[in-house]
Chains A and B, each alone.
Chain A
């Protein structure tokens, strides 16, 4: 069965970076894209960007494109999302999601809480 298992919770100081991982299993990793979505406490879902695992092409949300990098390691079927220059408003649960079909998100990771606090 398809599973996306994310790394554990992180606490970071303002200005630091965080790298969240998302390990895929149960399907051919290179056949599907991966998106990253975040959700601040009590707020809605915010799409951050996605990576084509097949060719490594990335597409980032405009407001984050200067601070975010998405990568994959096909040897371990793992996707990564790094966010730099963290601010308090980056405190959120970060999700990875697999692209089914033409890009809808058919499977989600369990989420990783990133807390930014001095």
Chain B
């Protein structure tokens, strides 16, 4: 099974900051990587797919990059609505493993 490792587990930041979350796959997954945002008590929401494609309706301050085994999610200027938990997810080879999540907290 493909394992996904996210870092950091928790990130404290302020409104207006630029933040980056990293996700590593245990083997190459090409660009089969998505990022989801989850708020407490809510279902996850797709932000990025195919490593760098922005889902329709998602603000352009969110961006993704990477391929193979190393991926990043960047939020260029944090807004109050962005404080949530973020998960990477690989969808290669008929499976859909998630990273353990990164909780983005207000500093």
- A35-B96, A44-B100, A44-B101 as given contacts; A105 in contact with B36, CB under 8 Å: yes
Write the nearest CB–CB distance from B97 to chain A, whole angstroms: 6
A 26-67 contacts with B by CB, 8 A: 35, 37, 44-47, 50, 59, 61-62
Q: Contact at B44–A61, with CB atoms within 8 Å?
A: no
Q: Contact at A105–B96, with CB atoms within 8 Å?
A: yes
User: In chain B, what residue has the closest Cβ to A59?
Assistant: B94
- With an 8 A cutoff between CB atoms, is B98 at the interface? yes
The size bracket of the interface on A is 20 to 34
Task: Kindly list chain B residues whose C-beta atoms are within 8 Å of the C-beta of A80.
Answer: none
- With an 8 A cutoff between CB atoms, is B1 at the interface? yes
From the candidates B36, B96, B98, B101, name the one contacting A103 in the complex (CB within 8 A).
B96
From the candidates A47, A62, A109, name the one contacting B96 in the complex (CB within 8 A).
A47
Q: Contact at A95–B98, with CB atoms within 8 Å?
A: no
Alpha-carbon gap, A110 to B43, bound state (A): 6
Task: Kindly list chain B residues whose C-beta atoms are within 8 Å of the C-beta of A102.
Answer: 32, 50, 91
Write the nearest CB–CB distance from B37 to chain A, whole angstroms: 11
From the candidates B1, B49, B94, B99, name the one contacting A104 in the complex (CB within 8 A).
B49
Q: Contact at B36–A59, with CB atoms within 8 Å?
A: no
Q: Contact at B45–A108, with CB atoms within 8 Å?
A: yes
- Which of A95, A101, A103: most chain B Cβ within 10 A? A103
Q: Contact at A47–B95, with CB atoms within 8 Å?
A: yes
User: In chain A, what residue has the closest Cβ to B92?
Assistant: A103
Q: Which residues of A contact B (CB under 8 A)?
A: 35, 37, 44-47, 50, 59, 61-62, 95, 97, 99-111
Q: Which residues of B contact A (CB under 8 A)?
A: 1, 32, 34, 36, 38, 43-46, 49-50, 55, 87, 89, 91-92, 94-101
- Extra inter-chain contacts (8) besides given A61-B1, A61-B95, CB under 8 Å: A37-B98, A45-B87, A47-B97, A97-B44, A102-B91, A104-B91, A108-B45, A110-B43
12 contacts between A and B (CB under 8 A): A46-B98, A47-B89, A47-B96, A50-B94, A97-B44, A102-B32, A103-B32, A103-B92, A104-B32, A104-B46, A105-B91, A107-B46
